[in-house]
Structure formats: C-alpha cells, structure tokens
Amino acid sequence: MKKTKLVQRNQVLFLFTLPILIMYCVFFIVPLLMGMKNSFTDWSGTSADYNFIGIQNYIKIFQDERFRNALVFNFKYTFLLTVATVVISLIVAIVLNQKIKARGFFRSIYFLPAILSLVTVGLIWNELFYRMIPAIGEATGWGLFQSSWLGSPKLAMYAILIVNLWQGCATPIVLLIAGLQSVPVDLYEAASIDGASAWEKFKSITIPYLIPVLNMVIVTCVKGGLTTFDYIKAMTDGGPMQSTESVGILIYNHAMQEGKFGYSVAESMILFVIIALVSVVTMRMSNSKKVGD
C-alpha cells in the first residue's frame, strides 16, 4: 500500500518536471545535437548546401595556433579571475561583516556595479582607460601609466580583468556575507576559550562553513572565465593584435565574420568538453573540504 503511494507520488512529481524537461530538450539538447552535426561539415553559415568532411575540422583546430593561443588566454584569465575573485570578495565580505560605521551604505556601494549593464560598464571603462591612465602617467611619471592599457598587447588582459572583477565581485560578496552570518557564534567563543588565534579560528571555523558558498563562487567563476566573451567584446574585441582573443571571441569571429560556421561549432564543442571536465574537477576538489563530511 505504502509503496504504490510512493510510486504514485513520484509519477506526479515527474509530471511536474515534464514541461521544463521538454523545454530543456527542445532548446538545449536538440540544438546541441544539431550543432554536433554541423561540426562535421564545411557549412559557411549561409550557403544552401554543404559537405560532410568528417573530423577534419577537429584535426585543423588542434593544429591551429590561433585556437591554442586563445585557449592559453582562457586558462590564464580564468585562473587569475578565480583567485582574485575569491580573495577580494572574502576580504571585503569579512570587513563588511564587522560592526563598522555605515555598514549598510558600504554594502550597497560594493553591490552597485552589479546592477549596471555590461556594455555600459565596458564603454565607461574604455573612456577611463583611454583618458585617465595617461593623465595619471603624466602626473606621476610612472612608465606603467604612460598609455592606455587596452592598447597594449601585454596589459590588455589585466585591464579587462580589472573591469571584470570590479563588476563580478559584487555578487560573491553578498553571498559570502550571508555565509559568514550563518557561522554559529558559540563556536568562535569556544575556540577563544581554547586559546585559538584569529587565523586558526578563520581557518578551522569560518572557511569550512563558507565552503558551500565558495564552491559555488569558484564554479561560476571558472565557467565565466572559460566562456568569457562580453567584456572583451565591449572593450577590445580581441585586440590589440589578437592578444585578448578568448575562445568565445574566436568562435564568434569564425562563425559571424569569417564564414566558417562548421569550424566554429567544432571549436565550441571542444570548449564544452573542457568546461565540463574543469567543472567536475573543481567541484570534486572543493566538496571534499565541506563541514560535516
């Protein structure tokens, strides 16, 4: 009797998930499969006919220096973005969690960048980099500030990173503040009685409680870093001299501007596999340190 009820309940629950499942299939799985088919063709994106060329696109991609450079850029960018986001958000969150004056005001200030549209942010910083950096250089005489960072192949990536962090840290800060407030105060008290230092308390109490939040922050950062597109599009469009060409930008350029649709789909398939692998690894790594396990 009890078992049939459970089955019935599961069936009802399944019915509830059905609409979203169908939508997921129609709008995600089906295009994915269609894309997979396209990646084995030489379709230009507009022509009426195309040829199946097997795995030639994939072979070419693995020999393509431009793709390799883009991939290296992606990994470098993702690593820096993730580390910087975690460190900066954690520090700001801890400071904003103290009993300081005008705490609410500061919390809103730090969240402000998140509500701006990305393109607006890109345009604002474009102007800042172009007009302000040289002005700083003139005033101080520092070589690093002589010219806009966006115009330098060596510094453009860091310029984009700064903008990304400026806007991208806002949400993690809010999440981490919430996480910090969930840590039971009595644990800190107990630790103090046992003579633990501030660092020991942070390491053994705060961090384990924050792991679920950090986990999410890291995974979204890694995914965001690997698929990064919009900041670059708005600020350098892959330039100067292709020094900020991420895989996302490369895929877009190949598909929309250079008429190599099949090739670009093959590139996105490779990126898809890479992101899946990296996400699994990061989740495994950070999950093992969670409280209660």
Partner 1 sequence: MKAKKVTALLISAVLATGLLAGCGSSGDSNGGESAAGNSGKIELEFFTQKREAADTFDKIIAEFNASQDEIVVTQNIVPDSTSVLMSRAATGDLPDIIQVGGMQDSNTMQFMKEGHFLDLTGMDCLNQVVDNYKEAIKFKGKNYVVPISANFSGVYYNKDKFEEKGYTVPKTYDELIALAQKMQVDGETPFLFPDKDSWTLVQCWEDNIDGSARGDRKQVYMDIANGTTTFQDDALFAETLQKVIEIRQYGQGDTLALGYDQAISDFATGKSCMFMQGIWALPSIKKANPEMNIGMFSFPSNSGDTKVSMGIDVNLAISAKCANADAAKKFVEFAASKEMVQLYVDNDYSLPCMKDVTANIPDAQEIVDLVEGGKGALQATALPKAVSDERQNTIQKVIVPEGGEDVNSFLTKLSEVFAENKDEFLELYGE
Residues that bind partner 1 (CB under 8 A): 45-48, 126-127, 129-130, 134, 146-148, 150-153, 236-237, 239-242, 256-259
Instruction: Say whether 52 sits in a helix, a strand or coil.
Output: strand
CB nearer partner 1, residue 144 or residue 280:
144
Our CA angle for 246, 234, 253, nearest 5°, is 45
> CA 143: distance to chain centroid?
31
Min CB(286)–partner 1 separation in Å: 38
Instruction: Say whether 41 sits in a helix, a strand or coil.
Output: strand
Min CB(66)–partner 1 separation in Å: 8
Min CB(36)–partner 1 separation in Å: 20
HEC string of 75-120 equals HHHHHHHHHHHHHHHHHHHHHHHCCCCCHHHHHHHHHHHHHCCHHH
Residues 6+ apart with CB under 8 A from 62: none
From residue 63, alpha-carbon distances to 44, 57, 67, 266 in Å are 20, 10, 8, 13
Q: Distance between CA atoms of 80 and 168, rounded to whole angstroms? A: 13
CB nearer partner 1, residue 137 or residue 212:
137
Residues 6+ apart with CB under 8 A from 135: none
CB nearer partner 1, residue 41 or residue 148:
148
Min CB(50)–partner 1 separation in Å: 10
CB nearer partner 1, residue 152 or residue 220:
152
Min CB(266)–partner 1 separation in Å: 18
Min CB(200)–partner 1 separation in Å: 48
CB nearer partner 1, residue 45 or residue 212:
45
CB nearer partner 1, residue 117 or residue 287:
117
Query: 5-40 burial, b for 16+ CB within 10 Å, e for fewer?
Result: eeeeeeeeeeeeeeeeeeeeeeeeeeeeeebeebbb
Min CB(277)–partner 1 separation in Å: 29
Q: Which of 152, 157, 151, 154 is nearest to 75 (CA)?
A: 157
Min CB(14)–partner 1 separation in Å: 28
CB contact at 8 A, 251 and 268: yes
CB nearer partner 1, residue 78 or residue 246:
246
CB count within 10 Å of CB 153 equals 13
CB nearer partner 1, residue 74 or residue 236:
236
